[in-house]
Amino acid sequence: MEIKSKYKKTKVFIGLSGGVDSSVAAALLQKEDYDVTGVFIKIWQPQWGECGWKDDRRDAMRVALHLGMPFKELDLSDSYEKKVVDYMIKEYRSGRTPNPDVLCNTKIKFGEFLAWAKKQGADFVATGHYARVNKTKKQKNKRTNNTQLLQGVDRTKDQSYFLWQLKQAQLTHCLFPVGGYKKSAVRKMAKKFGLPTAEKPDSQGICFVGKIGMKEFLKKYLQPKRGKVLDEKNEVIGHHDGAFFLTIGQRRGFTITKKSTSDEPYYVVSKNVKDNTITVATQKTKKQENKKTIMMHDIHWIGEKPVGDKKYQARFRHLQVLLNCHIVKLPNGQYKIIFNKSQAGIAAGQSLVVYDGQKCLGGGIIK
C-alpha cells in the first residue's frame, strides 16, 4: 500500500524562454523546493522572418534537462497572431503606437498559459520578469487579499511597465523569482548553477520583429504611401513613406529636402494619418508640442485606485525615469494625468503606467 505524504509540494509551471533570466528563475524555484515543470511557449513568428524559436526551444530543453525537471511545450502561436500581432498592425494602421509586450503578458503568458497550467494542476506560473509580487493581509470589509505588483529591484531592468494590465486573479498565481535580484547577480547565479544559458546574450526588441526593425516588419502588412513632411509653419520640407510607420519623437524614417540654416536634426512632433502628413521640428522649437496633461482610456487598476489629492509617479515608456504627477478622475469615469512638468514624445496608443513609489498601480492607454 502506497503511503501518501501529508504535505503536497506547491506545483509551479515556469515559462522557459531559452534565456538566462527564466533559466535562473527555474533554478531558484527548484532550490526553494517547489515542484517545477519547465514549459516552452511557442509564439507566432512570420514565415518570411528568422526562425529563432527553434534555437530558443533547444536552449529551454537543455536547461530543463540540466535541472532534471519535466519539460512541456505549449503552442500558442495562433492565439498570439490573433490577439497580439493583428492588434499591433491595426493600431499602427490607425496612427497609434501600441505596446505589444503588454498585450502578450495579459493575453498570452498570464492569460492562456496560466489557464492551461491551472488545468494541468499547477498552483502558480512563473517567468523571468524583473518584477515582484507582494500579497498584503486581508483588510476589514474586503472579501479578498490585495496582491500588489512591485518594481523589480534592478531598476535598469524593471519590467513592471509591461505587466500593468494584470488582474488580481492573474497576479495571485504569478511568481517572479528574479525580480528581487540585480541582473549582474542573475548572471553570477547562472554560472553557479552551471546553466547552459549562462553566457547567452539578452534578446533585444520585440521577439517576432527580430533584427529587421519595426518599419520593415510593418511594410509586410501596410502598403507604403508617400506623404508630405511639414514644418511648424505648415510648409512642405520633405517626404516620407507613410505616416503610420512613424511615431512621435522619432528623428529618422523621413527625408528632409529643404534644409534649414542651422542644420539641426528634426523630430516628429505630430502626424495626420488621414492626410498622410507628419509635422517635424528641431530640438529648439519642438518644446511647444510638449504636453503636461494626458487623457487615458482602457484604464485598469490592479488593486488600489489612485486618489486625487496624492502625488504619484508615471511613465509612458519602458525604463523611462518616473515622472511626478497627479491623477484626476473625471465625472465620466475616465482619468487624466497631470505631470508636474511638460513632457515630449507622448504618442497615442502607448501605455501610461502609474506608480506609488515601488508599487505599480496600473494605468491606461494614451488617447
Q: Which of 269, 287, 305 is the last residue in one of the domains?
A: 287
* Domain shared by 84 and 227, yes or no: no
In a domain, 254, yes or no: yes
* Domain shared by 96 and 30, yes or no: yes
Domain of 343 in residue numbering reads as 290-366
Provide the whole-model pTM.
0.91
Q: Say if CB 251 and CB 266 are below 8 A apart.
A: yes
In a domain, 3, yes or no: no
From CA 31, how far away is CA 25, in angstroms rounded? 10
Q: Is the pLDDT of residue 47 over 90?
A: no
The pLDDT-based confidence of 292 (bands split at 50, 70, 90) is very high
**Angle CA 301–315–363, to nearest 5:** 15
The pLDDT-based confidence of 334 (bands split at 50, 70, 90) is confident
User: Is 207 one of the annotated active-site residues of the chain?
Assistant: yes
* Domain shared by 299 and 267, yes or no: no
For residues 320-338, give the mean pLDDT: 93
* Domain shared by 23 and 146, yes or no: yes
The pLDDT-based confidence of 2 (bands split at 50, 70, 90) is very low
- Give the per-residue SS3 of 213-272: CHHHHHCCCCCCCCEEEECCCCCEEEEECCHHHCCCCCCCCEEECCCCCCCCCEEEEEEE
Residue where the block lists cell 528563475 = 25
Catalytic position from the list 104, 174, 325, 360: 104
Q: Which residue has the higher pLDDT, 49 or 218?
A: 218
What the block records as the C-alpha cell of 93 is 494602421
* Domain shared by 317 and 346, yes or no: yes
What would you report as the CA-atom Rg of the chain, rounded to the nearest whole angstrom? Answer: 23
* Mean pLDDT of all residues belonging to the chain: 91
Count: domains in the chain = 3
User: Is 325 one of the annotated active-site residues of the chain?
Assistant: no
From CA 353, how far away is CA 135, in angstroms rounded? 20
pLDDT in tens, 171-204: 999 999 999 999 999 999 999 999 999 999 988 7
- CATH code assigned at 155: 3.40.50.620
Catalytic position from the list 51, 174, 207, 325: 207
Helix axes 183-192, 20-31, angle to 10 degrees: 70
For residues 115-144, give the mean pLDDT: 86
For residues 109-133, give the mean pLDDT: 97
pLDDT in tens, 244-280: 999 998 999 999 998 777 778 899 999 999 999 999 9
* Domain shared by 137 and 248, yes or no: no
In a domain, 132, yes or no: yes
- CATH code assigned at 305: 2.40.30.10
The pLDDT-based confidence of 284 (bands split at 50, 70, 90) is low
* Domain shared by 187 and 272, yes or no: no
